[in-house]
Chain A
Amino acid sequence: MSNQELPNARTAARPWLRDLLGELARQPAGVAGFLMLALFLAGAVFEKRLITFGETDSRWHDITYWDEQPADAAPFWTNAFASQKSAVSLLLSPSSSAHESSGGARLLTHVFTFPYRYDLPPRDLVVRFRGAGDLPVAVTMTRPDGQEITLDQEQVSAGSGSDVRVSVDKSAGQAALGFLQGNESVDVMAGVDADRIRPTSVLFSQAGPGMLAKPRALKGDYTIRLLVVLVTPTAQISRPTLVVTGRVSGLLGTDNSKRDLWSGVIAGIKWALLIGLLTAFVSVAIGVVWGVTAAYFGGPVNWLMQRIFEIFSNQPVLPLLIVISAIFKPHIWFLIVIMAVFFWTGPVKTVYAMALSLREETYIEASRALGAGSARLIFRHMVPMLIPYAFASMALSVPGAVVYESTVSLLGLGDATIVTWGQILHDAFTGGAVLGGLWWWVVPPGLMIALMGMTFSFIGFAMDRILHPKLRRR
């Protein structure tokens, strides 16, 4: 008397699973689904390498982190379709550095070369470094036509160590005005409102009369020099960088808070996967066990379980989810728990019907005759037979969970410590992206939700087709 003679459900389930995976490999939809899932998983695993801003995940809602980016900028590749090419956002390291000392003071020169090949100038150039002590700083620019302009001179107190930023847009207004005066006539200059001049559009234009009204881009290599005098021995600077704040930026552009959307969209992958998979797994697991247990026991237990099921299945989940989120402001983990608590009703009816017929199988009877308890019968003999169905059901409930979280976030009720696609779309909607035509802000996050839904619906429908072969053709 041993397991060899009785069909053990666990060993019986394994070929089932292998068959299922084998069949899936023969379904084009299943293959497509698994390929897309592999891409999403790769996106989540290699997130740090894919995104351009390393701290996207933790600092998405920290506006200072994104300050050097342009706001509402289109993706850089839109230049390919534009007649006038816009300057692209860049980070440049010094192309050369020099170091002189004279009488105790040291003069540091960092030279940046900015190759400007566009028609529309960048919005800003920012020279950034980490400094310590009192630092006299000067920033100069040598244009391709040989003209040299001193953009800014100032005395910076960096204290014991802080980030110093010199913005051309903010501090080179006078320099730009001076440069303009050297080229335009007195009449033109009389009508100029000094506050309305964009320094970058003057500095990147061909010099000569008419450069204000009809600027033409002066293309070529611009040399920007950062000169710092270190007076005291403790004074120092490190990590000098030139930030070019372009008109187009990144793979997917930026939003109105200057955030890089590509980084946000990629950082959202792992949250969508987590929300979808965890909710689907927990809820289907509860549903399967619930249905089997109710069918197995029957009688009053079944009656009670059916009534509880009715209460949950008669509840519109999304409105309740929204209200709970509005009132309790849940953390993402708590939201997943709530979703699981309300999603489990999905598979119950089918599982119940399947378990009713399973209960009558002879191997169950045999096992019971051998003295197997209820728990053993349910978990070792009945639940494993439903695993293929459970997998299909899980795959098909992933998109629902992702969409529901996005919808809750769309209303502005998302967890503010993370970044999800729904939150990006909330910002886009309230930020006027829809009626402002900022498509790069609206399309990518929604497309990701759609693709995530597609991935799991391909897998789920492929499984479904394997489980119901009658539905394939006439």
Chain B
Amino acid sequence: MYLRYALRRILNALAIFVVEMFIFSVLFTATAERTLRAQIEESLQPEAARLRNATAEQVQRFVTERRAYLYHASHLDQPAFARVLWRTLDTLTFQFGNSITIKSSRGERGVWRIIAETVPPTVMLFTTSIVLQVLVGVWLGIKQAQRAGRTLDKSASIVTMVVYGLPTWWVAMLLIMLLAYALPIFPSGGMYALPPPNGLASAIDVLWHMALPVITLVLVNFWGVALLARNIVLGILQEDYISAARARGLSERAVLYGHAMRTAAPPLTTIALLSLLSSVFGNIIFEGIFSWPGMGNLYWISIEQGDTAVTLGLLAVTTGLYVAGLAFLDLIYGLLDPRIKTGTAP
């Protein structure tokens, strides 16, 4: 039963991704092809220059033939609709072409290589902060629900509203000014000190550089998790079976963790993770403020340098990760809440 549900959800995610990549191709093929043509012309110049003994006519013929060959190889000689389809297929198989100026740390020009390098730092930074946000947020949310309407609940609600429209990257700027410029406690950016230390010191160094970005993310975003947790737990605390448990004389602790949290856990986990997942993709640019060498930072670099191939590749990978993340959360939810896979959930 679960397997069928899981399979359907995965196929659904794949279909969504294919359609999205097709839409991107329709939107961006013209731009991507302009870059591709420029790259082909650029590669033709040195090749033609190597033909020293040829006459001008021969060189001309070589360039024309070679251009036709390269155009054919990248499907540039086909009608517009076919080019869009080819481009969709290329994107789906992670063939994003070559960058113009940006190189990977090993000097490669392949866009996929460049992007693949930036995924681990992003995952590291955001998973660390998500774990902390969930822990702190759920803890605060439960406390708020237990004493709903009292001072703690009210003041936490006010802070939630205050930080609701706060751009994380601006808070990052403020904290850098405060904790890296005015009081130089943390490094202002990057992932390693220069020169990078070795062994255990290197791990500590990375954590050291990660501290301020993580503090910023947690500080701004855990309030949202707390609000979700509060509302879900509070809703459950008003159910009849909780009153029944209280009437039986169970301690408040036992009621909360033995009864309320059992029901609250599945929706809480998924909704909290869902909101954090979308906050990751809404905050991705934030890495650029700290020069944290992840995908968000690569957005900055590729846009500054006008490296369209990298930008478009990044968009495809980001979208893919998002679609996969949403599907993954649904799969967890299906595991935690058996009503989902049978379709009997409200």
The chain A residues found within 8 Å of chain B, CB to CB, are: 29, 310-311, 314-320, 322-324, 326-327, 396, 398-400, 402-404, 406-407, 410-413, 425, 428-429, 434-437, 439, 442-443, 446, 449-450, 452-454, 456-458, 461, 470-474
What residues on A are CB-neighbors of B311 within 8 Å? 323, 326-327
Choice from B19, B188, B299, B318 contacting A435 with Cβ under 8 Å: B188
The chain B residues found within 8 Å of chain A, CB to CB, are: 12-13, 16-17, 19-20, 23, 27-28, 31, 145, 148-149, 157-158, 160-162, 164-167, 169-170, 173-174, 176-177, 180-182, 188, 231, 234-235, 237-238, 278, 281-282, 284-285, 288-289, 299-300, 303-304, 308, 311-312, 314-315, 318-319, 322-323, 326
What residues on A are CB-neighbors of B157 within 8 Å? 461
Q: Which one of B27, B173, B174, B319 has the greatest number of beta carbons of chain A within 10 Å?
A: B173
Choice from A316, A406, A429 contacting B318 with Cβ under 8 Å: A316
Docked pose: A310 CA to B326 CA in angstroms: 11
Cβ-defined contact, A472 with B169, below 8 A: no
What residues on B are CB-neighbors of A434 within 8 Å? 173, 176-177, 181, 188, 289
Docked pose: A327 CA to B31 CA in angstroms: 7
What residues on A are CB-neighbors of B169 within 8 Å? 407, 410
CB nearest neighbor in B for A411: B303
With contact pairs A319-B281, A322-B285, A473-B149 given, residues A450 and B322 touching in the complex (Cβ less than 8 Å): no
Cβ-defined contact, B165 with A399, below 8 A: yes
With contact pairs A399-B164, A474-B237 given, residues A439 and B177 touching in the complex (Cβ less than 8 Å): yes
Interface of B is mostly: helix
With contact pairs A318-B284, A471-B234 given, residues A454 and B167 touching in the complex (Cβ less than 8 Å): no
Cβ-defined contact, B173 with A429, below 8 A: yes
CB nearest neighbor in A for B27: A324
Docked pose: A473 CA to B238 CA in angstroms: 10
What residues on B are CB-neighbors of A454 within 8 Å? 161-162, 164-165
12 extra interface residue pairs, beta carbon distance < 8 Å, beyond A318-B281, A403-B165:
A310-B12, A311-B23, A314-B13, A315-B322, A317-B282, A319-B281, A322-B303, A327-B308, A400-B282, A434-B289, A446-B170, A449-B170
What residues on A are CB-neighbors of B181 within 8 Å? 434-437
Cβ-defined contact, A429 with B289, below 8 A: yes
Choice from A29, A411, A436 contacting B299 with Cβ under 8 Å: A411
Cβ-defined contact, A449 with B165, below 8 A: yes
Docked pose: A327 CA to B34 CA in angstroms: 12
Cβ-defined contact, B299 with A450, below 8 A: no
Docked pose: A260 CA to B269 CA in angstroms: 48
What residues on A are CB-neighbors of B162 within 8 Å? 450, 454, 457
Q: Can you list 27 contacts pairing A with B, beta carbon distance less than 8 Å?
A: A310-B12, A315-B319, A317-B281, A318-B282, A318-B285, A319-B281, A319-B284, A320-B315, A320-B319, A324-B27, A327-B28, A399-B165, A407-B285, A411-B285, A411-B303, A425-B170, A436-B181, A437-B177, A437-B182, A439-B177, A450-B170, A452-B165, A453-B164, A454-B162, A456-B165, A461-B160, A472-B148
